[in-house]
């Protein structure tokens, strides 16, 4: 039961994404565009979410414009997060992991660069279309069909290069991160194309549409984003702590059970569908307790509560807190799916709280942790390029923001559900009484948006340093 030892890399210990000076030429610009663009979209998504949150305080806020109604802004914010930040972050990090763990250079860097630019443009057009009233009306798939086709084409450009990179790897043994990356790479086009076909291109009849939409949204979160985020978690936690992952086979179990059970779910228990569909969905959701336990147990044994490492390496904080939030969000999803609980909590803000924690608590924080580790290397700098003060402030803003927003929405949702379940309160009364915690979530949204802005500022600082270094080198060469 000894640790798997990687064969010594053929070149020096420096990775191919070299940190040697003058390495900009080999800097995979595509990965950089994906990640940087993603960070920008995250700021936009958080600002739009903040605007929506403010509308709960004053319903007349910007109500005069048709493109700024609550529904439009909410759809735009969701699309910006999922397609502007979520997919590019998953792709960018995934490509980086494949290169790093495979000990090879990125295949088709030009293709990746073009694909990345194309993707971001397509998302921008899509969000513009949503604000102009062309949203599809399906949660998590608001992008209109013609735009979805553009995004799919861009994805194929990047995805094929990723597969070639994976194929070209020089290390035979696969580390869990690579499975998760490949899993995410395959899962997204399959669910995206199915949803586009069945919801928009050749729409199914009647209630089959929401079933497919719920299936897609559940798969996007529970499989695609989980795979993408956990890929980073499995990479960075053992690496930064300096200990091997506790159990390879436990990771195998976690991987396959996330794919199998995480994909079967998402249908609300009271949905207008025959009972077998909701029962299967419930069974799948309950069984997601298995990967949660497997991942939690694996990392608990790996880290053994080594809190010293958290102080030494700030990026680790993001990753660990992200993992914790993934576990909590997953547990809440299971609890909320049980019939007795879902009778009270379905269609209340309870579900909104879980999504908030999953997206901004788990995925965004994990990606931030990864970005803090990766981005300087892409620009030919080292980790000291980040401003420690901004980093620390960003961590507290994002962490507390996600926590406050989550807790406020959770309280609001539970209160809403319990008061409605009593049966003697009118809906208007119930919403009046849950207004206070709902408005508290605005504070959380403000902190989350602030954190994203702080990251952007820090990032701009790093870009500036890279530019100065680049100019200095050009002067030297001249």
Partner 1 sequence: MNSGPLLFLGLFATMAVSWIGFILTPQMQLTGLSQTNTVAVGNTLPETYPVAPSGEAHAGAEVYRANGCAACHTQMVRPSDLGSDLRQEWGVRRSVAEDYLLREPVMPGSVRIGPDLANYASRADTNDINRLYLRLYDPKQITHGTLMPPYRFLFDTRKILFFPSTNAFVPPDADAPPAGYEIIPRPEARALVAYMLSLRQNGYLYEAPPPESLRAKATNAVPTNAAPAAAKPAPAPK
Partner 2 sequence: MSSNAPAKTADAPEPAAERRSIPMWLVVLSGLLVYWASLFVSEDAGGFANDVYLPFHSSDEVTAANPIDPVQQEINKGRKVFEATCAACHQLNGLGKEGTAPPLDGSEWVQAAGGDRIAHVVMYGLTGPITVKGKEFNLSMVAWGETYTDDQLAAVLTFIRQQWSNKAGPIKPELLRAARAEKHKGPETAPELLRIPIQ
DSSP string of 372-417? HHHHHHHTT--GGGS-HHHHHHHHHHHHHHHHHHHHHHHHHHHHHH
Cα–Cα distance, 338 to 335 (Å, whole number): 6
**CB nearer to partner 1: pick between 135 and 373:** 135
**CB nearer to partner 1: pick between 187 and 326:** 187
Q: Is 267 in the site for partner 2 (CB under 8 A)?
A: no
**CB nearer to partner 1: pick between 62 and 381:** 62
The token duo for 368 is: 């931030």
Q: How far is the CB of 36 from partner 2 (least distance, A)?
A: 19
| 3-state secondary structure (DSSP) of residue 171 | coil
Q: Which residues contact 252 (CB under 8 A, 6 or more apart)?
A: 176
Q: With CB cut-offs between 5 and 8 Å by kind, which of partner 1, partner 2, none does residue 294 bind?
A: partner 2
Q: With CB cut-offs between 5 and 8 Å by kind, which of partner 2, partner 1, none does residue 170 bind?
A: none
- By CB under 8 A, the count of residues binding partner 2 is 68
DSSP string of 283-334? HHHHHTHHHHHHHHHHHHHHHTT-THHHHH-HHHHHHHHHHHHHHHHHHHHH
Q: Which of 149, 168, 169, 248 is the binder for partner 2 (CB under 8 A)?
A: 248
Alpha carbons within 13 angstroms on the beta-carbon side of residue 431 total: 7
Site string for partner 2, 284-303 (x = CB under 8 A): x-xx-xx--xx--x------
Q: How far is the CB of 304 from partner 1 (least distance, A)?
A: 25
Q: How far is the CB of 458 from partner 2 (least distance, A)?
A: 13
Q: Which of positions 334-373 make contact with partner 2 (CB under 8 A)? A: 372-373
Residue span binding partner 1 (CB under 8 A) among the ranges 119-127, 207-215, 289-297, 399-407? 207-215
Q: Is 110 in the site for partner 1 (CB under 8 A)?
A: no
Residue of 290, 370, 285, 386 lying closest to 322 (CA atoms): 370
DSSP class of residue 175? P
DSSP class of residue 66? G
**CB nearer to partner 2: pick between 166 and 406:** 166
Cα–Cα distance, 475 to 452 (Å, whole number): 34
Place of tokens 């980086």: 96
Q: Which of 41, 85, 113, 175 is the binder for partner 2 (CB under 8 A)?
A: 175
**CB nearer to partner 1: pick between 12 and 58:** 58
Place of tokens 């952007």: 456
Q: Is 226 in the site for partner 1 (CB under 8 A)?
A: no
Q: Which of 28, 37, 38, 238 is the binder for partner 2 (CB under 8 A)?
A: 238
DSSP class of residue 52? H
Site string for partner 1, 175-194 (x = CB under 8 A): ----x--xx--xx--x---x
Residue of 100, 260, 90 lying closest to 174 (CA atoms): 100
The token duo for 28 is: 């995979």
Q: With CB cut-offs between 5 and 8 Å by kind, which of partner 2, partner 1, none does residue 439 bind?
A: none
Q: Is 63 in the site for partner 1 (CB under 8 A)?
A: yes
Residue span binding partner 1 (CB under 8 A) among the ranges 171-179, 239-247, 364-372, 454-462? 171-179
Contact predicate 394/447, CB 8 Å: no
Place of tokens 């600002």: 47
Residue of 96, 124, 101 lying closest to 112 (CA atoms): 96
Q: Which of positions 247-286 make contact with partner 1 (CB under 8 A)? A: 252, 256, 259-260, 263-264, 267-274, 277, 280-281, 284
Q: Which of 421, 471, 472, 474 is the binder for partner 1 (CB under 8 A)?
A: 421
Q: Is 83 in the site for partner 1 (CB under 8 A)?
A: no
Cα–Cα distance, 101 to 15 (Å, whole number): 9
The token duo for 70 is: 């609550």
Rg (CA), the chain: 22
Cα–Cα distance, 11 to 26 (Å, whole number): 16
Q: Which of positions 298-357 make contact with partner 1 (CB under 8 A)? A: 339, 342-344, 346-349, 351-352
Residue span binding partner 2 (CB under 8 A) among the ranges 124-132, 203-211, 245-253, 403-411? 245-253
Q: How far is the CB of 208 from partner 1 (least distance, A)?
A: 6
Residue 262's H or E segment, with its range, is helix 248-262
Q: Is 395 in the site for partner 2 (CB under 8 A)?
A: no
Q: Residues interacting with partner 2, by CB under 8 A?
A: 1-6, 13-15, 19, 100-101, 175-177, 234-240, 242, 244-251, 253, 269-270, 272-276, 278-280, 282-284, 286-287, 289-290, 293-294, 297, 311-315, 372-373, 376-377, 382-384, 386, 388, 391-392
């Amino acid at each position: 039961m000894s640790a798997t030892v990687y064969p010594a890399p053929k070149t020096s210990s420096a990775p191919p994404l070299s940190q040697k000076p003058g390495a900009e030429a080999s800097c995979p610009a595509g990965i950089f565009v994906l990640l940087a663009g993603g960070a920008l979209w995250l700021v936009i998504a958080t600002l739009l979410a903040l605007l929506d949150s403010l509308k709960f305080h004053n319903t007349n806020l910007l109500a005069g414009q048709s493109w700024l109604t609550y529904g439009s802004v909410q759809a735009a914010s969701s699309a910006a997060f999922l397609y502007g930040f979520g997919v590019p972050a998953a792709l960018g990090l995934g490509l980086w992991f494949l290169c790093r763990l495979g000990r090879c250079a990125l295949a088709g860097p030009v293709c990746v660069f073009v694909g990345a630019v194309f993707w971001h443009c397509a998302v921008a057009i899509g969000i513009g279309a949503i604000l102009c009233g062309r949203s599809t009306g399906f949660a998590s798939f608001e992008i209109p069909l013609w735009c979805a086709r553009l995004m799919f084409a861009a994805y194929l450009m990047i995805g094929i290069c990723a597969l070639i990179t994976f194929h070209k790897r020089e290390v035979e043994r696969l580390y869990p991160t690579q499975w998760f990356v490949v899993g995410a790479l395959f899962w997204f086009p399959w669910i995206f194309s199915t949803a586009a076909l069945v919801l928009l291109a050749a729409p199914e009849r009647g209630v089959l549409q929401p079933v497919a939409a719920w299936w897609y949204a559940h798969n996007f979160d529970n499989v695609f984003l989980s795979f993408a985020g956990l890929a980073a978690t499995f990479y960075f936690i053992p690496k930064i702590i300096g200990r091997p992952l506790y159990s390879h086979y436990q990771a195998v179990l976690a991987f396959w059970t996330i794919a199998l059970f995480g994909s079967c779910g998402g249908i609300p228990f009271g949905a207008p569908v025959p009972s077998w569909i909701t029962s299967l969905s419930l069974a799948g959701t309950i069984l997601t307790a298995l990967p949660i336990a497997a991942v939690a147990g694996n990392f608990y044994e790996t880290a053994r509560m080594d809190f010293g490492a958290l102080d030494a390496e700030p990026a680790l904080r993001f990753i660990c807190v992200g993992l914790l939030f993934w576990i909590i969000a997953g547990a809440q999803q299971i609890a909320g799916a049980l019939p007795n609980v879902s009778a009270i909590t379905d269609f209340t803000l309870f579900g909104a709280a879980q999504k908030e924690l999953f997206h901004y608590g788990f995925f965004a924080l994990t990606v931030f942790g990864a970005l803090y580790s990766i981005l300087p290397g892409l620009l030919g700098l080292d980790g000291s390029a980040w401003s420690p003060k901004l980093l620390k402030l960003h961590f507290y803003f994002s962490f507390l923001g996600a926590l406050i927003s989550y807790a406020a929405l959770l309280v609001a949702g539970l209160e809403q559900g319990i008061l409605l379940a009593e049966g003697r309160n009118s809906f208007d009364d119930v919403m009046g009484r849950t207004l206070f915690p709902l408005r508290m979530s605005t504070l959380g949204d403000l902190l989350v948006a602030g954190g994203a802005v702080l990251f952007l500022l820090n990032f701009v600082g790093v870009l500036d340093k890279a530019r100065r270094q680049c100019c200095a080198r050009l002067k030297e060469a001249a």
